[in-house]
A = this chain, B = another copy of it.
Amino acid sequence: MSDVILLDCWVSPFCMRVKIALEEKGIKYEDRAEDLIGGKSELLLTSNPIYGKVPVLLHNGKPLSESSIIVGYIDETWASPPLLPSCPYGRAQAKFWVDFIDKKLFDAGGNIWKTKGEAQAVAVKDFIEILKQLEGGLGDKDYFGGDSFGFVDIIAIAITSWFNAFERFGNFKVEDHTPKFSAWIKRCLQRETVAKVIPDPEKVYEFVLFLKKMNSIE
């Protein structure tokens, strides 16, 4: 059995986070694709009995779940390069933005493609407001981590893989509202560890189309 196994789904931004973190640390791992629609594996259900969700990382047979917690574990287990600042205050600030993103960003995007008309206009407005707050956290830095790509960057960039779908269903452009945040996205996508993990935006869009049909959302 491989030391490091990821129970994965290609379109999940939460799985992408774990893959980018492993790439950053240079850790080889076995990628096992889960069939979330056809049926989850027994290993997934026993490894994550509370949520039954990907990603699950198995390290020497021991399971970990919840993507932000897994990325934290990866950072503590394989020290170099560090993903979090060394000082407690910098670490707390990074965790604040990770928590903010986890609470808000993906669900706010979901409200865009799950709605239409007036409700969708509100969803787009809310989404942009969240991005503006996040852009405030980025400030004039190259990365959320400052000069170097780090924890918050990993957590956020994975979710941006769905932005093309959010923009097309919501008929808006992120770049028109948060140019610094958009420049940050482009900067991150040039990074090899990110580029090799983030899927083709068109494939994500087609997947969201499929999700809409499966859930009978017009």
Nearest neighbor of A60 in chain B, beta-carbon distance:
B89
A66 close to chain B: CB less than 8 A: yes
Interface of A toward B, CB cutoff 8 Å: 50, 59, 62, 64-66, 68-70, 72-73, 76-77, 88-89, 91-92, 95-96, 99-100, 133
Q: Which of A50, A70, A77 has the most CB of B within 10 A?
A: A50
Q: Note all chain B residues with C-beta closer than 8 A to A96.
A: 64-66, 69
Interfacial chain B residues near A91, Cβ < 8 Å: 72-73, 76
Please tell me which one of the listed residues B50, B73, B88, B133 contacts residue A92 in the complex, with CB atoms under 8 A apart. Answer: B73
Residues of chain B with a CB closer than 8 A to A68's CB? 99
Give 26 A-B contacts (CB < 8 Å), ordered by A residue: A50-B100, A50-B133, A59-B89, A62-B89, A64-B96, A65-B96, A66-B95, A66-B96, A66-B99, A68-B99, A69-B92, A69-B95, A69-B96, A69-B99, A70-B92, A72-B91, A72-B92, A72-B95, A73-B88, A73-B89, A73-B91, A73-B92, A76-B88, A76-B91, A76-B92, A77-B88
